[in-house]
Amino acid sequence: MKITRGFKTQWSCFVLVLAISVFGVAISVRAEESPIKAALLPYVTSNWLAGAVTVVVGPEGIISHETVGYADVAGKKPMKKNAFFWIASMTKPVTAVALMMLVADGKVSLDDPVSKYVPQMNNLWVTERKDDSSMTLKRQVRPITIRQLLSHTSGLPFLTPVLTDDLSSLPLDQAVLSFTMNPLEYQPGEGYRYSNQGIDTVGRVIEVASGIPYEKFMQTRLFDPLGMKDTTFFPTSRQLKRLPKSYAPNAEKSGLVTTNIPFMRTPFDRPGRYPEPGGGLFSTGRDLAHFCQMLLNKGMYNGKRFLSETAIAELTKIQTGKPDQKYGLGFAVDQDGHGAFGHGGAQGTNMTIYPERQLALIWMVQVRGGYPGKGSKARDAFNEAAFKLWTK
């Protein structure tokens, strides 16, 4: 792959030193002299970060794919490029892209009422007033639209109590029915509330409108054509051997300890699990690079158009009606003030596309509940190193 966006002097010097060493000059070249790895190693040695997979993507494909640290600190198991991660809410933009493919097919409109596809999602109760001892309800005054589901402005809460302990425990049709049993938090379109329920309902709309199960639509229309071979709601025992341990800050916030993955009951390869459109995917850095490359190229990947430029623009503009709440359709948007968009996950994973820089950055970790010490700066350190190496 040809890389035209300039290498900085630091990296050029590293390549020169490596070349000299190959020709017999006694110069020691360590792996950590990679600028990205060098930026991240202090976080690993301080036990603020266990390990990470980093990927830098350009319009032509992967520019950099590196690892640092450990998939298992106690076992001294190094992090590998093919490490397999629960990406949690990074599933949301993938579901949003799938929905927009149905819009392009003419089977769905963003401003359709959700009740067109899920009749029970109408005439719901809405919380008018609430305190510790009482709650006043009022009837829904307008339909929820698909656009509102994708932009978290539908009024649906974050999670239903039925799914709090395991997002994968119900078929989509039953999960969405359970959402109608609790009141909306506000009238549709009159507020903002980040909502797994909303995106899960989009998944149900996808299967009703397409006539095939949601997970099959995702596989045949997105994962297979994009070459996302390791992206799935149903990990195999073989894939799970590549799943890094999950970490969280210790009680003193000075280092990391192992913990369980939240919202998901193990084992992940057991029968009887179901797809969860708001947060159920597992994936790898390489697979997500294909998805990000398609977005970076405004809907094109390897000569195939997945979405129109108009659809990409609709997904990635603020849709909440409130400029301080920067959410589009399934994407967090304008993250740098220059139109960057992407999404993170509950275990610290993240992908962000920077159209002006013509780069996408992917950060793969398994850290629950924040980082200890200065660990929260680790992804920033990766971003800064990548931006110094590759500029537009």
Residue type present at position 308: S
The answer to the question of residue 25 being in a domain is no
The predicted-structure confidence for 310-322, as pLDDT tens digits, reads as follows: 999 999 999 998 8
Q: Are 103 and 311 in contact (CB under 8 A)?
A: yes
User: What is the DSSP-derived secondary structure letter of residue 232?
Assistant: B
Parent domain of 143: 111-201
What are the C-alpha distances in Å from 176 to residues 114, 148, 162, 197? 11, 16, 11, 8
Average pLDDT value over all residues in the chain = 91
The predicted-structure confidence for 225-284, as pLDDT tens digits, reads as follows: 999 999 999 999 999 999 999 999 999 999 999 999 989 999 999 999 999 999 999 999
The answer to the question of residue 154 being in a domain is yes
The answer to the question of residue 15 being in a domain is no
Residue with tokens 């830098």: 56
Q: 80: part of which helix (H) or strand (E)?
A: none
Which residues lie across from 350 on neighbouring strands? 344, 363
- Contact partners, residue 279, CB within 8 Å, separation at least 6: 88, 89, 91, 92, 167, 196, 199, 263, 345, 346
The answer to the question of residue 320 being in a domain is no
The answer to the question of residue 181 being in a domain is yes
- Measured distance CA(360)–CA(358) in Å, rounded: 7
The answer to the question of residue 294 being in a domain is no
The answer to the question of residue 144 being in a domain is yes
pLDDT at 350: 98
Phi, psi angles (nearest 5°) of residue 344: -110, 180
Total domains in the chain come to 1
The answer to the question of residue 194 being in a domain is yes
* Confidence (pTM): 0.91
The predicted-structure confidence for 157-185, as pLDDT tens digits, reads as follows: 998 888 878 989 999 999 999 999 999 99
Q: Which parts of the chain are beta strand (E)? A: 51-58, 61-72, 77-78, 85-86, 125-130, 135-139, 246-249, 256-259, 282-283, 300-301, 304-305, 332-333, 341-344, 350-354, 359-364
The predicted-structure confidence for 99-143, as pLDDT tens digits, reads as follows: 999 999 999 999 999 999 999 999 999 999 888 888 999 999 999
- Give the up-direction half-sphere exposure of residue 201: CA atoms within 13 A in the CB hemisphere: 35
